[in-house]
Structure 1
Amino acid sequence: VKSIVQGRYTPTINQKRLKLAKMMYDEMAGYPNEYVVRILSYFLRKTWNWLYPYGIHVNEESVSPVLEAAKRGPLLLTPTHKSHIDSLLVTYFCFKNSLPIPFVTADEKLNRFLVGRIMKSCGAFFLPRSFKDKTDKLGKILFQQYISCLLMRGHSIECFIEGSRSRTGKVQQPKVGMLKRVVKWVLNKHQTVFVVPISLGYDRIVESDSHLEVLSGSRDAKKFAMSLRSLGKTASWLMNVTCFGRVDLCIAQPINLRVFLRDCVTSLTTSSGSSKLESKTNKGIVKYLAMTVGYQALYLCNRVSIAEPAALVATVLLSQTKRGINRNELKSDVMWLRNLILSHGGRVANFSPEYIEVVLSLILEPIVGENKLVKRHKDLLMVDLYSPEERMELSLYVNQIIHLFVEAGIISLVLYKQYKHDAEHAYPPKEYHHVQEEQEEEPLHEQRFIPVKDLIEDVVFLSSLLKLEFVFCPSSALKTTIDSTLLLLEELGTVEWGPSLSDSEEQDMGDNEEEDRVGEGKRSCVRVCSTREAQETYLFYAMIFWRFLDSYWLVALGFIYLLPDRVMTESSFISRLQRTGEKLYFEGQLDLFEAISRETLINAVSLFIKWGIIEHLPIEGDQKGGNVIPGRRVLRLVPDYQDEEELEALVSKIEEFRKSLKAYRSRRFLIRHTSETRDSIVIVKKDAKEMQSSSPPPSRARTRSPLPVPRMRRNKDEHLSSVERNPSPAPKREREKAKPIALSSFSSPFIAIDPPSACPPDFSLDSPLPPPETTPLISFLESRNFQSQTDFDSRTDFGSLSEQPN
């Protein structure tokens, strides 16, 4: 600590500064104790045998490369993060396999009382507050030098590059705070670090109930994690539910970080990537490289992950269109899904059909709990009686295997759009559409061929829309990914090709002829096969992605609350969207309750900010307009999207790929409803109007009045006594810099922007607004084609390598 302060500040050490540095170091640093680790491993072994009676499975062949890498340099373990016990499992694994005990990054809120001391004795080190708040350079320097010292001495480090726990069950986008420091050390010291991606798969997650409450918006994530009520509830639940199935710890091939970074820099300095390298500063290059490493590590985690039996059973239960299913049919569907995963190159846990009954009785059907994921009626399993919360919990298991079907799912959504268009025009009078009322499944018929050129255009849009939800395949061009996916679907018998292009069409294509080649020969059109197996397969692909489309559609629909010229805090906006989603669900305008998942709605808001549809305003505590706490941002629509027609165009664009609503198959429902999109917009407009009329007048930011404000004081004898005047002088009318909006001024979720004479300085309509980054939606879709995103810190399109990290 003394050398850090002496080297970074002044040769003469300030004793007060040194004392502060020592205090911060003591709060941050960990000191592994071998005896504590041995004692803890004994209790952990007993705990694992109790919680996971079907074992913790590790592929022995994947351990040998890690042992070899540990002899050549320090290890950076990057496991997926789904539960609080992830770090315990990884530490226990290292101890049992004679690997170095890693230093584990931890949140400072866990550094409390005896728990913090035990965690430090096991190797945990905590992020300092000043580093997280970005207010003091000393915290950053201490953290950077601490990481450098650990790597210089050859210690292993375990960090969760996803940041917080994934409450949705799937892998999140990487956070590069820790990776930037490791990359900087490798570039400066010319030494290597081996990145070890680790995937942790659970049959049942211990904190599933708490994840569900956070996703549904019933409790705040930070408050709920620290509440004694949640700890007591989890403890009592563990005493009754003692079977959580099995755990699979899968290890990918270690990445030599020095070689990987050298290849990335080489690709950036080529003729195609030189412009990217020149346009970035040193910090930008380090961040770009760290982001590339993060995506590569998470992609490898997905590749080596194993599909758990509970995830397969939950997926089959949630995808049923009937009211019930017997056990034999359930086992048959689970084995079908298992074979489908294997055909997509995935890995499935080795289990027998008899283990499915174990999953039903001991894992998905808890002894105590609010939700009942298995509902029995004689020999049948009732799948049509799930409550909205139970459907959301089942979706957490589906998300564990959703990364295996991303490419096929996006293409299936495009094919479903074509079917939906044909079905809507099959019965021209809307009132006669009720003839499908008795049909539970989609009608079986031959679909029209869709041109590959149009399919690629829709795939680009969907991949841009969902790019914050999934980790796409790196180092793969968009056209190559689409070609390989279509060939796979053709091998599975799901799609078939149409006739080849005619001579006149080939001449019209000109130079684009090679772009429409898929596989062998010229194939310009594709459609879903008319067999029942093909229809069921492609609808299954689309089914597991519809809830994400509904979430983004719900956010686009919720922009009506920001009309005209209104602002809302992001937390209030997300809460309002969840209440609106519940209302639309019970009104029949939304079939999938899982669409109100809080994490997905937050991702959708972040995406539309990147698209330039909404923006956030600075608030008190904001550091020069950046690094704003996500829950405290104040949102408003950009001027180009203040027009209602632009918002309706965005909603209609996403609506094209959504699932057809069940309610519109009923004649009674069609008496009062005509259009899915129009009816939903009417409901949201009515709700927004009611909120505006019922909300109190908007509060203003704290500003002084130019005149002295009278103040009344009560007296014991008189009801009202004399008037005192405020002695404070009046401030100047003209201010050089506008004061940021105080968060406490938002007493209502709606803040109307009044004329300049009565509004705060930030809301002045006289001041020019910055030009928007994007054009309105209609020209945005036609001209940009969603291929011009060049932000290296945002996820690029599905399969697109020209804009994607290597």
Structure 2
Amino acid sequence: MSLLSAIRSWTTEIGVYHAGSLYPEDNFPLSWLVRKVLSKVQIAEKTAEELRSLSEKGVVIYALKNKSQLNSLILRDLSGRKGIPRPVYCHGINMLTWQPYLMGLRVIMSHLSRLIFKRTELDPVRDDHLKQLTLGKKSSIIHLGYSEIFENPFVEETLSRLMDVQKTSARPIFICPELITYGRRREKEEESLINILFGQTDATDPLRRVITFLRYSNKASVISAEPINLAEFMKAGDGIPREELVRQLRAELIDQIDQEKATILGPILKSREEIIGMVLRDKGLVDFMAETAAKERKRKRDFHAVRREARKYLDEITSDYNEIYVEIWEKVLTWLWHNIYDGVVVDTEGIAKIRQLSKKMPFVIIPCHRSHIDYLLLSYIFYKNNIQMPFVAAGTNLSFFPMGYIFRKSGAFFLRRSFKGNELYAEVLSRYIKVLLKEGLPLEFFIEGGRSRTGKMVMPKYGLLSMIIQAYQEKACPDLAAIPVYIGYDRVIEEKAYLQELSGAPKEKEKATEIIKGGKLLRKRYGRVYMNVGDPILLKSYLAEQEMPLAEMNVSERQSLYRRIGYKIVRAINQVSVVTPFALTSAGLLCYDRRGISHGELGDVLRSFYDYLSFRKVSFAMTFADREAAIAEALKLFDQSGLISRMGAEEEEEEVEEIVYSLDDDKRMNLEYYKNNILHYFLPVSFVASSILTILEDMVPVNRINDDYAFFKRLFRHEFIFDERKNDRDEVREILAYLQSRGMIAGFDNEEKAWIEVKGRGRTNLLPFAGLIHNYMESYWVVIRGCYYLRKGPKAE
């Protein structure tokens, strides 16, 4: 045998090896370093679980927007660390550099054999390797080409061949579009030097991609868009020519990836000066400035003077977003949550709901306001969950140096607490809001105006809400989602300051020295932070349900609309508020007028309260998984903080039930704050219990309870946010049915002239429920008595 024949025989035996093959092991130079860097890339556990589930049902094909060896290695690495389906092949991507030495050598020899002896190269488009792997239930990686606008024959042929495979396979093929992000830098219209040299962060240039990844590898993450079931896609497109169906599939996959990117980063961000220029050029503002100048001609204020004043207001208001500050905040807040709090409990289903909405329309986050931490919390949660962060409306009291500068760079814009009478300022702010929405940027504002000092929801303010609705009316966006969000704390860091203000002390102005003094906060623990998402209000559909179109409403009708939307939002926040052990224990400690309560009696009360809240199907803190331990921990912290005193605990012979918790009058307000966090859940039963207890006889007419219930709601209409999903009579019926099921009353039926009978220990068991609002009734009684006394004439001081 000649030497040439021997070589030919040997190379033929090698077989066909593919440059796109991915192997679980590697031994290329510095492979250990590459693995270490790739190990920082994250994928949400829920996403990983979904990919594993798809793999059990069918075959997973990962779809990347661009050719990328780096992104392919990331997916392979995650398959080992997180158990997602392992890709064994990158179709159309040369992975030779990353293959084990022996495999790489075989690939080279295989290709040389074809070139020398067959005079052909392996055509990856017509090669059946992807087909055979898919039929063998193996996962692969394909790429889609940078843009759906330009045809890409290689990509389209690949997708067409996958359709051929699907026609012959009983198992569905799931094409999973994958977005791999390196950090959270928004794209900007103004080009930086790095962007000029290397292109934007998602550019196809490998050098830019590697440099960006190395800079932000600890922030890199994999996000899966909605997978496409190829069998269902082909069935839905039955009758459409194959070429067109392939184009539609490619376009949909690219759109999915682009939507995920927009969800995370938001639209391309204009500079602060560009935004200010857009506001000043807004036709509505220009017309308003011209009218203002005409009115003030006597004061010699021309249009240019008015415009300069508008520009001054914009300098005061406008945000100046910079990702560097956001990245710094991410590190600071991660440290904060683990050092003064015991973590953040996030409504994952609610976050998923926000992600889906953000793909369809701009959104406005509207949380309750309990602490200065609120400003930072939601942005942090959004950042961690790969959702574009909102631009946050903050009061000018937070614009003090240096924090104001930092907040502005982090996405805050500042507005005055009151600008009544300053029409130009109001118009400038309104037009700024409109421009932000027109740019597709999410917003966040606190509908209560300021932080709640009492722990309960404050009546809504309508200023910013009206500006947002006006911007929608002026077609700033085709639709808009208003998303109510509950933020709650086991304990707030401003507790002491709130109590001082409620005691009559003036509110202290925020300043940098207070931040420095706040270092002592780091020596305390404040429990957990909770975030829940309420049902969003889609503005387009909500306004369509109104009796009159928005454009036809007069001022009074508009005010009524703002009021309805405002109350709908705060009710939605109340409905998803979290019951914490601190709040429930505070309610139990305060439900009687006396200064002390025994451990056993407190336990009975808390079990009764917990049972009622379970009946209402409210959201409980996760710590209630071990209810007794959670309550014991709350009591321990209250004791350590000096809010309560334990008497009898020192005596070892004493039974636990004989321990008495004593409340200092000076500390009741601390506990009152946390009781108020959940008081709205108890209002219906408190009103009914109070009505029953005002009648000395055991037989009570239901009509009397209905009348009292309506009276209490009228009396406290400016004090509490009531749940209006049921009418008053239905609410009373529901509460009476609950009390009857617990043996406190008997004889209740749905007849109009029905009576109830208080049974056994019914009055004793109703007292804690009625006691929850006793302090409010006393306060109103004192005020009414005082007003009556003052009406008799002037009094000496």
C-alpha separation in 1, matches of 2:516 and 2:605: 38
CA drift at 1:303: 1.3
C-alpha separation in 1, matches of 2:569 and 2:638: 31
Aligned residue identity for 1:309: P
CA drift at 1:531: 2.3
Higher-Rg structure is: 2
Q: Which of 481, 491, 508 is matched with 1:204 structurally? A: 491
Report whether the alignment pairs 1:170 with 2:456: yes
Segment of structure 1 superposing worse, 88-97 or 322-331:
322-331
Counterpart for residue 390 of structure 1:
667
CA drift at 1:330: 4.8
Summarize the alignment of residues 281-296 of structure 1 with structure 2, pairs less than 5 Å apart. Answer: 282-296=554-568
CA drift at 1:56: 0.9
SS in 2 for 1:354: helix
Segment of structure 1 superposing worse, 15-24 or 117-126:
15-24
Counterpart for residue 572 of structure 1:
none
Report whether the alignment pairs 1:456 with 2:739: no
Counterpart for residue 2 of structure 1:
280
Counterpart for residue 552 of structure 1:
780
Task: List alignment gaps of at least 5 residues for structure 1.
Answer: 270-276, 420-446, 499-517, 567-687, 696-806
C-alpha separation in 2, matches of 1:475 and 1:333: 28
Aligned residue identity for 2:582: A
In structure 2, relative to structure 1, the CA distance for the partners of 1:67 and 1:239 (3 Å cut) is closer
Q: Which of 282, 304, 309 is matched with 1:20 structurally? A: 309
In structure 2, relative to structure 1, the CA distance for the partners of 1:497 and 1:225 (3 Å cut) is farther
Task: List alignment gaps of at least 5 residues for structure 2.
Answer: 1-278, 294-301, 651-655
CA drift at 1:228: 8.2
In structure 2, relative to structure 1, the CA distance for the partners of 1:183 and 1:385 (3 Å cut) is same
C-alpha separation in 1, matches of 2:661 and 2:416: 49
C-alpha separation in 2, matches of 1:448 and 1:211: 42
Aligned residue identity for 2:397: K
CA drift at 1:524: 2.0
Summarize the alignment of residues 405-424 of structure 1 with structure 2, pairs less than 5 Å apart. Answer: 405-419=682-696
SS in 2 for 1:195: strand
Counterpart for residue 364 of structure 1:
638
Counterpart for residue 200 of structure 2:
none
Aligned residue identity for 2:674: Y
Aligned residue identity for 1:400: N
Is contact 1:331–1:356 with CA below 8 Å preserved after alignment?
Answer: no
In structure 2, relative to structure 1, the CA distance for the partners of 1:346 and 1:39 (3 Å cut) is same
Is contact 1:128–1:139 with CA below 8 Å preserved after alignment?
Answer: no
Summarize the alignment of residues 747-786 of structure 1 with structure 2, pairs less than 5 Å apart. Answer: none
SS in 2 for 1:547: helix
Report whether the alignment pairs 1:108 with 2:379: no
Counterpart for residue 247 of structure 1:
529
Give deviations 1:397-447, integer Å, cap 9, x for gaps: 11111111111111111111113xxxxxxxxxxxxxxxxxxxxxxxxxxx3
In structure 2, relative to structure 1, the CA distance for the partners of 1:6 and 1:183 (3 Å cut) is closer
In structure 2, relative to structure 1, the CA distance for the partners of 1:530 and 1:115 (3 Å cut) is same
Q: TM-score, normalised by structure 2?
A: 0.59
Is contact 1:104–1:124 with CA below 8 Å preserved after alignment?
Answer: yes
Counterpart for residue 375 of structure 1:
646
Give deviations 1:293-317, integer Å, cap 9, x for gaps: 1111111111111100111222222
In structure 2, relative to structure 1, the CA distance for the partners of 1:315 and 1:134 (3 Å cut) is closer
Higher RCO (CA-CA < 8 Å; seq separation 6+)? 1
CA drift at 1:27: 0.7
Is contact 2:390–2:444 with CA below 8 Å preserved after alignment?
Answer: yes
Is contact 1:111–1:126 with CA below 8 Å preserved after alignment?
Answer: yes
C-alpha separation in 1, matches of 2:416 and 2:487: 28
SS in 1 for 2:718: coil
Give deviations 1:438-497, integer Å, cap 9, x for gaps: xxxxxxxxx332222222222222110011121112253333332333223323333323
Report whether the alignment pairs 1:88 with 2:359: no
Q: How many residue pairs align between the two structures?
A: 498
C-alpha separation in 1, matches of 2:587 and 2:725: 30
C-alpha separation in 1, matches of 2:516 and 2:767: 42
Counterpart for residue 729 of structure 2:
479
C-alpha separation in 2, matches of 1:201 and 1:374: 26
Aligned residue identity for 1:155: L
Is contact 2:746–2:759 with CA below 8 Å preserved after alignment?
Answer: no
C-alpha separation in 1, matches of 2:629 and 2:661: 24
Is contact 1:312–1:398 with CA below 8 Å preserved after alignment?
Answer: yes
C-alpha separation in 1, matches of 2:466 and 2:742: 42
Counterpart for residue 490 of structure 1:
740
In structure 2, relative to structure 1, the CA distance for the partners of 1:523 and 1:477 (3 Å cut) is closer
Is contact 2:364–2:483 with CA below 8 Å preserved after alignment?
Answer: yes
Aligned residue identity for 2:638: L
Q: Aligned Cα RMSD in Å?
A: 2.8
C-alpha separation in 2, matches of 1:528 and 1:389: 39
SS in 2 for 1:481: helix
In structure 2, relative to structure 1, the CA distance for the partners of 1:563 and 1:253 (3 Å cut) is closer
C-alpha separation in 1, matches of 2:326 and 2:359: 22
C-alpha separation in 1, matches of 2:561 and 2:646: 49
SS in 2 for 1:105: strand
C-alpha separation in 2, matches of 1:185 and 1:386: 51
C-alpha separation in 1, matches of 2:420 and 2:707: 42
In structure 2, relative to structure 1, the CA distance for the partners of 1:382 and 1:24 (3 Å cut) is farther
Counterpart for residue 468 of structure 1:
718
C-alpha separation in 1, matches of 2:783 and 2:518: 33
SS in 2 for 1:365: helix
SS in 2 for 1:125: strand
Report whether the alignment pairs 1:527 with 2:756: yes
Give deviations 1:527-555, integer Å, cap 9, x for gaps: 353222x3333212110011111111111
C-alpha separation in 1, matches of 2:756 and 2:589: 28
Q: TM-score, normalised by structure 1?
A: 0.58
Is contact 1:69–1:254 with CA below 8 Å preserved after alignment?
Answer: no
Give deviations 1:97-143, integer Å, cap 9, x for gaps: 111211111111221221111111111111147xx232332111101
Identity of aligned residues (%): 27
CA drift at 1:376: 4.3
Give deviations 1:589-614, integer Å, cap 9, x for gaps: xxxxxxxxxxxxxxxxxxxxxxxxxx
SS in 1 for 2:486: strand
C-alpha separation in 2, matches of 1:417 and 1:233: 50
In structure 2, relative to structure 1, the CA distance for the partners of 1:341 and 1:8 (3 Å cut) is same
In structure 2, relative to structure 1, the CA distance for the partners of 1:375 and 1:226 (3 Å cut) is farther
In structure 2, relative to structure 1, the CA distance for the partners of 1:398 and 1:294 (3 Å cut) is same
Give deviations 1:199-253, integer Å, cap 9, x for gaps: 1121111111111111122x023xx2447897676543x1432x11111111113
Is contact 1:415–1:527 with CA below 8 Å preserved after alignment?
Answer: no
C-alpha separation in 2, matches of 1:412 and 1:233: 46
Counterpart for residue 45 of structure 1:
334
Aligned residue identity for 2:361: G
Q: Which of 367, 377, 387 is matched with 1:79 structurally? A: 367
CA drift at 1:326: 6.0
